Amino acid sequence: MTAGFITLEGGEGVGKSTQLRRLANTLERHGRRCVVTREPGGSPGAEEIRALLVNGEPGRWDALTETLLLFAARADHVARTIKPALAQGEFVVCDRFADSTYAYQGVGRDMPRETIRRIESIVLGDFKPDLTFVLDLPAETGLARAHARSVAESRFERFGLEFHERLRQAFLDIARRAPERCVVIDAAMREEDVAAEIWRVVAERLQLQVSN
């Protein structure tokens, strides 16, 4: 395979951004062109919507409004960033995608799964990642890591621990529903070990011919 769409998912503080960079660097060292992106965001229009979603008080939006904003951003992101890169034969490595909406807005904020699925079908059709890593960590540990960062975008971190515990189980359930696409990684391992396991799976699943 000459290109692929890879996503990293999980709750707050699981290390997605760190592993995203490490994976992109490894792909590029092996001669693969790579676009690193994120959600919400990843295109100019989607980044504007991101500012509405990640800032402010936890109750700023109800679940439906939040879901619609996320899919509006996702539509722009896919059209302007992800699909053009894939068409050029590049790998796209993305911090979050539609799975996060099922977890955060679906399970976390009680948005019916079928409602999200219908919106997803309208916006994305059958477009999905080729491979998704779910980085798994106890919610309390992840929140402690997240709170230790000095990041202004903290709206979702301010939802309670019970919310984040539901998120963890939601991501694990997503992985169980789609074992052909999703791989659960123990994010409590050392950073280097997490990166090594991710790379092992990428090389195997995407049938990359790589050197050591």
In a domain, 52, yes or no: yes
So what's the pLDDT on residue 58? 74
Between CA 112 and CA 103 the distance in angstroms is 11
So what's the pLDDT on residue 164? 84
| Domain that residue 48 falls in | 5-205
Report the chain's C-alpha Rg in angstroms.
16
Task: Give the DSSP letter string of 64-108.
Answer: HHHHHHHHHHHHHHIIIIIHHHHHTT-EEEEE--HHHHIIIIIII
- Averages of pLDDT over runs of 10 residues in the chain (212 residues) are 86 91 96 96 96 84 95 98 97 97 93 97 97 92 70 58 88 96 96 96 79 50
In a domain, 36, yes or no: yes
So what's the pLDDT on residue 149? 63
In a domain, 211, yes or no: no
Hey, how many other C-beta atoms are within 10 angstroms of the C-beta on 54? 16
Q: Name, in order, each residue with C-beta under 8 angstroms of 34's C-beta and a sequence gap of 6 or more.
A: 24, 27, 28, 90, 91, 92, 93
User: CA 51 → CA 40, 41, 47, 70, distances in Å?
Assistant: 9, 9, 7, 11
Between CA 178 and CA 170 the distance in angstroms is 13
So what's the pLDDT on residue 162? 83
- Give the type of residue at 105: Q
Between CA 136 and CA 134 the distance in angstroms is 6
In a domain, 92, yes or no: yes
In a domain, 146, yes or no: yes
So what's the pLDDT on residue 151? 54
The total domain count for the chain is 1
In a domain, 210, yes or no: no
In a domain, 212, yes or no: no
So what's the pLDDT on residue 137? 92
CATH number at residue 179: 3.40.50.300
So what's the pLDDT on residue 60? 86
